Structure 1
Amino acid sequence: MAAELDNVYSRTIGTLDENDVRYLRSIVRAQRALEAAGRCTIQFGRSRPARVAGVLALAAAKILDNLEIGHNVLHGQYDWAKDPHLHSDSYEWDTILPARLWRYQHNFVHHVYANIYGLDENLRAGPIRLSVQQPWQPHHIAGPLLLLATAPIAELAIALHAADEIGRGSTSSDLKSTPKRLRQDILLKAARQAAKDLVLFPLLSGRRAGDTLIANSSALVLRNLWIFAISLCNHYPEDVTVFNQDVLENETRGQRYVRQIRGAANIEGSRMLHILAGHFTHHIEHHLFPDVPSSRYREISYQVRNICERYGIPYTTASFPAQIASAFRNLCALALPPNGRKSFARRSRRHESGDWR
């Protein structure tokens, strides 16, 4: 199985060409056009429908910047193109968390230790219980409500989570920096983002500063809600597996592939959904091949799914509404005491430490 997946990867990498770069540049142009149109409509639109359209355009621009452009560029998917504007080392995105810190915490910590309890920071969320391995506490009952409350400010929540991870001492030495300096970087980036969206553009609106502040804030909230929803669908449905740390003992390449497949979930939908989700709709393919351009995931997904079926590896995929519902059932079940969980969810998220070896 590992050899077959390696072959899928090498064939795909071998066919990358200017068309792949041209695709991303078209997305960048669309993102810039949406941002310009959104900001102009918010600034100068007189009618309520026009301002609503401006909010939607600005939110779409921020979503494209964060997901289809920023996330994928920061994975090094276009480093081979030698374009400094699309290179992971020089790219900076329109969000609070500095790109260099995200590259470490996401590209390394999350992807290398995907869905391993105690190592993958996506399974640590303060008072929210995200796996059966985490001992249940009474305050976990409020976890789903707390999670919903943080959805509108997901950008800030991610930055605070990163700062907390820095406090654990898990990033400073790897980034050749100090915890104090990394926290300063986060605060500085947050100040720049707030100055742009919440101060500069409202002030440029003169008497309509309040309306522009509300519109810009609305666009940020819509962006955060969308990223929150996509993340839920990718990481927390019922059929996604959480592993114990013993899977790392003598883990072979094939076993690592299985862990990446079982620790992710796909979303079925239209081409527009794929683009607006940054192709996180093919989360399994992304975890298998994170440096392959995201626009290639759809074509290789058929090959990956066929390989999974032939080797008896479950391939988790469903529609957007179905994955949202599954994730909420799972998180609500995890929030309940162990003896009250079975009645709420079809199945609890389980761990597999050796049955596929």
Structure 2
Amino acid sequence: MRQAQQLGLLRRRYGYYWTLLVGAAVAVSVWVAGFILLGDSWWQLAMAVALAVIMTQVAFLGHDAAHRQIFRSAAWNDWVSLVLANLLVGISYGWWRAKHNRHHASPNKDGADPDIAPGAIALTPEPADRPRGPVVRWLVTHQGWYFFPLTLLEGFSLHWKGIRGIASRSSMPRRWIEALLLTVRLGGFAALAFVVLPPGKAVLFLTVQVAVFGFYLGCAFAPNHIGMPLVPATLKLDFLRRQVLVSRNITGGRAVSVLMGGLNHQIEHHLFPSIARPHLRTIAPLVAAYCATQGIPYTQTSLAMAYRHVLRHLNQVGLAGNDPFLCPLVAQRRSLDPR
């Protein structure tokens, strides 16, 4: 932290983020105009893919705002993230923020991290080892092979969970504003599609857009933690080890950073969640050097290799009902604590 302060890496990057914010507004406006002008055409499926890419990049920008990376004012960051998430992307900011904060507090920790909770994919040994029928058991034991196709449904899931989160009785600031913005986004966008396109094409267009959005987002988030050590519910780690040991960086330079919205520097993001995205690349060598002096593994690999680890982990969890990545972390923690 002292090194980051001395190098000015904690300062805001207003020029960078205003460029992205204005660029996002322009991109969405140009897309809407192009969609209307193109009219009834099968080329609209290409427009659906283009919009999915735009929406994912907007979601990355909303993620930065939610982490207070853009403005000094917490209120400004909240409102920007709310508008980006609800009005443009169609995801409830309040629901997502509550979930994401729990993830950052205890990444990959059993029973604490909602991102590894039981679901369509078994990320921890316990759900994979439960008694099931033959069909479900076969699916679980081969889950790595259908993980990426399943991400095509992630966009639908995010839209639905956002709606359900707003409708729930849980505490949520600005609930009615979120509901209004989400209704305008989801209802207005669907209405636009049906006005410009015939019903059949409109349904296909909406399906392709949401599917590609979910696939892109899932592919960007999957390499961050899947296949890294799982933390038992009873194991306590200090902040540094809690964030570094379970996170994976992706190599590849600026192109990968743009593709993944800065999430390729996952270790640095977890250690310094409010640092502006452009500074993550600069602070990475400092973090790697510090981890080396502390004897803490600092994991970074190519995107292709990360996906291989993800698939291998999912298949091993499904096949064996145990996590091969768990023991090294427990062993390391025990070596640090002579008791």
Query: Given the two structures, how large is their TM-score scaled by the length of structure 1?
Result: 0.77
Native 8 Å contact 1:117 1:243 kept in 2: yes
Paired letter, 1:31: A
SS at structure 1 position matched to 2:124: coil
The alignment status of 1:349 with 2:318, answered yes or no, reads no
1:41-80 paired onto structure 2 within 5 Å: 41-45=34-38, 51=44, 53-67=46-60, 69-80=61-72
Deviation at 1:151, TM superposition (A): 1.2
Distance 1:260 1:83 in 2: 24
1:324 is displaced (CA, Å) by 1.2
Contact 1:74 1:89 in 2 (8 A): no
User: Matched residues in 2 for 1:104 and 1:243: separation?
Assistant: 21
Question: What amino acid is the match of 1:16?
Answer: R
TM-aligned CA deviation for residue 30 of structure 1: 2.3
1:128 CA drift (Å): 2.9
The correspondence of residues 170-209 of structure 1 with structure 2, limited to 5 A, is: 172=170, 175=171, 191-199=183-191, 201-205=192-196, 208=198
1:9–1:289: 8 Å Cα contact kept in structure 2?
A: no
Structure 1 residues 49 and 284: CA distance shift in structure 2, 3 A: farther
1:9-158 equivalences under 5 Å are: 9-11=4-6, 15-17=10-12, 20-45=13-38, 51=44, 53-67=46-60, 69-80=61-72, 82=73, 86-89=76-79, 91-92=81-82, 93=85, 94-107=88-101, 109-132=102-125, 136-137=129-130, 138=132, 139=136, 141-143=138-140, 144=143, 147-148=147-148, 150-158=150-158
Structure 1 residues 356, 120: closer, same or farther in 2, change over 3 A? farther
Report what 1:3 is aligned to: none
Deviation, 1:279, is: 0.5
Secondary structure of 1:66 counterpart: helix
Partner SS state of residue 118, structure 1 = coil
Contact 2:65 2:81 in 1 (8 A): yes
Identity %: 18
Distance 1:45 1:336 in 2: 49
Contact 2:230–2:326 (8 Å) recurs in 1: yes
Q: Aligned residue pairs: how many? A: 322
What is the aligned partner in structure 2 of residue 222 from structure 1? Answer: 212
Please give the alpha-carbon distance, in whole angstroms, between the structure 1 residues aligned to 2:297 and 2:213.
31
Unpaired stretches in structure 2, ≥5 consecutive residues: none
Aligned partner of 2:2 in structure 1 is 7
1:39, distance to aligned residue in structure 2 (A): 2.7
What is the DSSP-based 3-state SS (H/G/I as helix, E as strand, rest coil) of the residue aligned with 1:278? coil
CA deviation vs aligned residue, 1:239-279 (integer Å, no higher than 9, x gap): x111112333xx5xxx2211201111111224233123121
Deviation at 1:160, TM superposition (A): 5.5
1-structure distance, mates of 2:310, 2:287: 23
Measured on the aligned residues, the alpha-carbon RMSD in Å equals 3.4
Would the alpha carbon gap of residues 211 and 274 (structure 1) be closer, same or farther in structure 2, given more than 3 Å must change?
A: same
CA contact (8 A) 2:95 2:165 kept: no
Native 8 Å contact 1:131 1:349 kept in 2: no
1:337 aligns with 2:332: no
Offset of residue 57 of structure 1 = 2.9
* 8 Å CA contact retained: 1:79, 1:87: yes
TM-aligned CA distance change 1:329 to 1:165, over 3 Å: farther
